[in-house]
Structures are given as structure tokens and as C-alpha cells.
Amino acid sequence: MELIKVGQIKMSHSNSKNHSQNKAQSNVRVKVIETLLAIQAGQSLTGLLDPLLNGLQGEDKGFAHALLLTTLRHWFATARLLDSLADNPIEELAVRTSIQVGITQLLYLQVADHAAIHETVEAVKKIDLSRATGLVNAILRKVSKNPNKFRKKCDKNHSLPNWLAKQLKQDWAEYYDELTQALRQPAPIFLRVNYTQANNEQYLQLLAEAELTAQLLNLTTSMALANSNINMTVSPILLQSQTPIWQLPNFAEGMVSVQDAHAQLAAPILHNVLQASLGSNSNKLSLNLLDACAAPGGKLAHWLELIESKFAPKFHVKQTDEKPAITITAIDNEPKRNSRIFENLERLQLPTTISTRELGLEILCVDATTWQANDDSKKNTETNTKNNAGFDAILLDAPCTATGVIRRHPDIALLRTEADVTQTVALQAQILDNLWGQLNEGGYLLYVTCSILKAENVAQMQAFISRHTDAQVIEFDDAECNWGIKQDIGRQCLPLVENSGDGFYFALLQKNRNELS
């Protein structure tokens, strides 16, 4: 009796272990399905990903991340495949989502057939869809019989909502096929070295010592101002090794940030333009800068790093006892996103508030469509004249549909609608008009979006120029710029090739001086 009892205990323990493993695998798929349903209900992946992964351990965490992101990247393609395989239309969202999660495992993650099918069916049971297990099982088994055929079918066309694909074909007919396929791929990781702590060569050495492979890229830009030509190079680091970001050398100490290669152009463009401008204005007593729609603060941090860098030229601005020589105001209208600015600046060991006579920073939670930096700006006083009442430079990282970063945030394809474009264009115009009135004559505004839709970019700029006759376009020299595509106004970056940056748009404007003032 005792041996039988021991044997029974051992057998029971073994079954319990296998049952626990199967339960864990099913639970991962349940969590992924629930997350996808939340995204389809309007929630952002940004707010859902950490809660999902924090509840998992080890291999389950990596599998959940891969399954979720890959399912999103191929969402519309697998949806079309599902419709072609079903005998009758499948309307129930949870059922469709579960099947698409199963299809993704079979076609894109090389999960064994029996595991993908069985554990997906088990997950369906756990979300109270037992009545659909037969349907889920039948469709996944059909896919598993010829995965190569069905993957080719999925990969043949785009994986975007039809309205967006149609708009991209209209905007970028020449690049359409290449662009829509590129948007299905994972985005590369680019690093920006904090120049207050190190330079690129020093950090590349640290990466090499950590046995991490990386490549230095060079993005060249040339612009012609009234009295000078600007030639500049921005050198993002392409991280080629797979590693958790927090394990990068000196990441916690703020020596490096993750920032897309094209996003790294914004702050240096304005920084170099201001350097050239100040070269012909040695009597400047102060420099007043604005970073609008600044959260989560990547471009703001880059700007501060350049201003305080021991590796970059300093602004030659005379100091007074009244205010810092250089003042930066950063604004955004979302409190949670604003808090991210403080977190990022603190990690980078950059100032988070007005601190010294040389540099001051103020971060405000305000609405850029209506906010006025100085209610008394129209008063004519000795220290605040009509023609020098506002900002010398404005970096406007305008709200947009973010269609240029779908590789990095694939949920955008599910969340955006055609109506969002119209609303966003109207919002951008409001912000532009409000901030332009607060730009000093002779000052510069850099308009940036992470959109690849012309309505938000070149068309927006053309409409703005028609409303503001005092706006002059500063041209980027097409022959000297090795990034982006020349537009009637500005340059458009598209994520067309492997290891390219995201889809960003840049337009630089200067406010003409009023000769009658």
C-alpha cells in the first residue's frame, strides 16, 4: 500500500506539473487576446504593454511580447485570410481575434502546429467562448496543412486598413508597395548619446566592451540662410545586438537614450540655425526658446544636451541679472505625458526647472491652441518691445496620426480612422496659428510630425503659408541632404529600407522682419 501511495503521489505530481505548464501557455494567449480586444476598444498599446508583461515571467514574457506585436503587424492581412477561410462571416470580435492569434503563431512565429492549435483552443475556453472551439480548431487546422501557401497569401498585399492604404497610394504611388510592406516590419533601435556626458566614439567603445554590436550613421543636412550656409551632420547609433534597453552601458546614469534616427534631426536643425543667426547678432541679450507639444521630452532633452554639451559650440548670448541667457519653455497638454518629461530629464541628469543664470527651463501643462506665453506681449516697453515680445525659435512637434511610426507602434493601424486625419489637420492649424503670433520677427519655427500623410505635412505647410505672408520657407539643399524626399515645402522621411529611420516630416520657416517697424 505504501509503494502504491508513493507511486500515486509521484504520478500526481507529474500530471500537476504538465497541467501547470499547459495552463501557463494558455494563460499567455488569453492575456494577449484580452490585450488585443482592449486595443480594438480604443486603448493604446503604450498603456497596455507593461501591465501585460509585468504579469508574466521568463519565456512567457518574451513569447507574449512577440505574439502581441507580430499579430498587430499582420492584423489586416490575417483578417482577410480569415474571411477567405470561413464558410460564413465571423462577426464576433473575440472569436475573430482568437483565430488571428492562432494564425499568427502558425505563419509567423513557427510555433508547433499542435501547440498553436491546442493552446489557442484552450485559451478560447478560458474567455467563455467554448461554443466557438470547433470553429477555431477547424480554421487553424486548415491553415496548418499548408502554412507556406497561406503566408504567401498574407504577405502578398499590405496589412493596413483600406482607407490608409488608399491614402498612401494617393500620396506615395511611386513608393507604395515598398512602403506598405516596410510598415509591417519591426523598427530598428537607434541610440542618441548624451553629449553632456560622452561623445559617440566614447560610447561606441563602451558598447564594444559590453560585446554589443552597433553602427554609426551619418545624416547630413545643408540649409541656406540669408547671411550664411549651414552644413551639419547628425550621427545616430544603430544598435544591432539584441539586448534589454536598461542593460545598455550607463543607461541608468543617463549617458544614452533611445531615439529614432530621423527624430534626432529636429533639435540639431534649430540649434545650428540659431548658432548661425546669433553669429550676426552679437548684441543679443537673451534667447527665448519654445518646445511645443514636448512630451515625452526626447527632442527637448536633445536640445538641452546640445546647449549644455562640452562637445558642441556654445550660444554667444550676453548675460543679464534679470533672466537667464537662454530660456526654454516646454509645453504639453497631458499631465501624464508631462510627467514623462521630468522622468526623462532626471535620468539624463538635465535640469527640470529654471536653474542658473546661463540656462532656464520651465515645463508647463497648457493647451497649445490657446496658450499665450506673455499676456503683456503686445505692450510696448523698453524691455519688451512689440518686435521682440516672444520666442526666437519654436520647435513644434505637432500632434499627428503617427502613421510614420507604425513599425514601432503597430496598434496605430487599428486605432486611427479616416476622420482622425481631418480632425488632426484642423488641430495642427490651430496650434500653428497660435504659436506663429508669438514668434519674434526673424525667428524660426521648425514644424515636425511623425506622419507620412501629406495632408498633415506638406499640404498643411502650403495652407499655412497662404494664411501667413510673413512666413518664409528655409529650404533644405536636396543635393546635400542624404535623408528624406524633397517636397514643395520641407522634406519627408519614409521608412523604406531596412535599418532606416521612421516616417518624419520637417519644414523650417522664418518670420520675415517688418521693415516698417
Active site residues: 450
Q: Closest by alpha carbon to 490, among 427, 398, 410?
A: 398
Q: Is 223 exposed, middle or buried (0-12, 13-18, 19+ CB in 10 A)?
A: buried
Indicate the SS3 state at residue 133: helix
What phi and psi values does residue 16 have, to the nearest 5 degrees? Answer: -65, -40
Report the chain's terminal Cα–Cα distance, integer Å. Answer: 106
Distance CA 504, CA 299 (A): 13
Indicate the SS3 state at residue 285: coil
Q: Which residues contact 336 (CB under 8 A, 6 or more apart)?
A: none
Torsion of CA 380, 276, 227, 283, to 10 degrees: 40
**Start-end of H helices in 357-496:** 412-415, 418-436, 458-467
Q: Which three cell numbers stand for residue 293?
A: 507639444
Radius of gyration of the chain measured on its C-alpha atoms: 27
CB atoms within 10 A of CB 283: 7
The single residue listed with the C-alpha cell 502558425 is: 106
Distance CA 265, CA 467 (A): 27
Three-state SS string across 309-351, please? CCCCCCCCCCCCCCCCCEEEEEEECCHHHHHHHHHHHHHCCCC
**In sequence order, what DSSP letters do the residues of 166-219 get, joined into one string?**
HHHHHH-GGGHHHHHHHTTSPPPEEEEE-TTT--HHHHHHHHHHTT--EEE--E
